[in-house]
Amino acid sequence: MTLRLHTDGKPLRSPQAIIFDTDNTLYAYDPPHARAMAAAEAKAVRLLGVDAADVRGAFAQAREEVKRQLGKTASSHSRLLYFQRGIELLGRKTQLVITLDLEQTYWRTFLSHCELFPGVHDFLLALRSNGIGTAIITDLTSQIQFRKIIYFGLDDCFDYVVTSEEAGADKPQEAPFRLAIDKLGIEPRNIWMVGDHPINDVAGARPFGITTLLRVDHVNGSGTDAGSDVVFDDFNELHQFFFSGKVEGALKR
């Protein structure tokens, strides 16, 4: 068993609701991102007639510039802005049609290579069948994150979705957590937060008194306990643990 508790011997109480992060929590982000960037870069080479290395360098620089300009906001993750600025850095000025084409290519390729982690869907269904509320807090723009959730077939698995676009700030800032708590209408002490990022998810949720669960990737040697209450790397194991009788107040199955 890789699931570990860090509750100092205190019983872990069943929540009234669980909030989930999306990227790298419900699915692995890096593989579809790599495929999507490769597809967008290849199209940019073809449409702009420039060297592949130049395209890659321009897009990387554009991403840095956009993030520096916008800070921790939803739009700072915008591929549309990255591609627009990247094309400009290549000396082609603003090319609206090509920019839109590249963004559509990126997300179409990204979604076609996404896969939920094993056990995610079954765990969510089990929570809902047991009357436990569910929500998402996720960075990036609403349209893109809505598309991901629908693509995964999870649109009926969550009571509420909060994006950093709606909240006006990325995690770990207070706004998205406060908005999710307000929507759920549940005291934070009765909420769990499941995420993969020690700062954005764990540190962001802890000031509210939310119980934190950190999903780590032991296979690739990534992740740290980061002061979380629970550490796990397998949703099937989390599912089994939750309904094992070891979580106070959770029905044993």
List 8, 21, 170, 225, catalytic entry: 21
What whole-number distance in Å separates Cα of residue 185 and Cα of residue 187? 7
Candidate from 11-25, 148-162, 236-250 with smallest mean pLDDT: 236-250
223, pLDDT greater than 70: no
Q: Which residues pair with 23 in a beta bridge?
A: 27
Residues in CB range of 83: below 8 A, 6 or more apart: 40, 44, 59, 62, 98, 99, 102, 103, 106
In angstroms, what CA-CA distances link 83 with 86, 95, 99?
5, 9, 6
Parallel, antiparallel or unpaired: strands 4-5 and 230-232: antiparallel
- Residue 15 and residue 250 in contact, taking contact as beta carbons nearer than 8 Å: no
Please give the average per-residue pLDDT across 108-123, as a whole number: 97
| 55-77 pLDDT per residue, tens | 999 999 999 999 999 999 999 99
| 135-189 pLDDT per residue, tens | 999 999 999 999 999 999 999 999 999 999 999 999 999 999 999 999 999 999 9
Beta strands in 57-116 (DSSP E): none
What whole-number distance in Å separates Cα of residue 238 and Cα of residue 216? 12
Q: Taking Cα atoms as reference points, which of 233, 190, 188 lies closest to residue 207? A: 188
What pLDDT sits at residue 224? 61
| 100-114 pLDDT per residue, tens | 999 999 999 999 999
List 8, 23, 51, 122, catalytic entry: 23
- Residue 213 and residue 21 in contact, taking contact as beta carbons nearer than 8 Å: no
Mean residue pLDDT across the chain: 94
**Is 170 among the residues known to form the active site?**
no
Backbone angles phi, psi at 250, to 5 degrees: -85, 135
What whole-number distance in Å separates Cα of residue 93 and Cα of residue 118? 44
**Is 21 among the residues known to form the active site?**
yes
Q: Taking Cα atoms as reference points, which of 136, 134, 133, 197 lies closest to residue 163? A: 136
What pLDDT sits at residue 1? 53
Sign of CA dihedral 197, 198, 203, 208: positive
Lateral strand order in the sheet of 211-215: 4-5, 230-232, 211-215, 191-195, 17-20, 133-138, 160-163
168 phi-psi bin (left φ>0, alpha ψ -120 to 50, beta other)? left
Residues in CB range of 26: below 8 A, 6 or more apart: 20, 116, 117, 120, 152, 154
What pLDDT sits at residue 225? 65
Structure tokens at 49: 């007639």
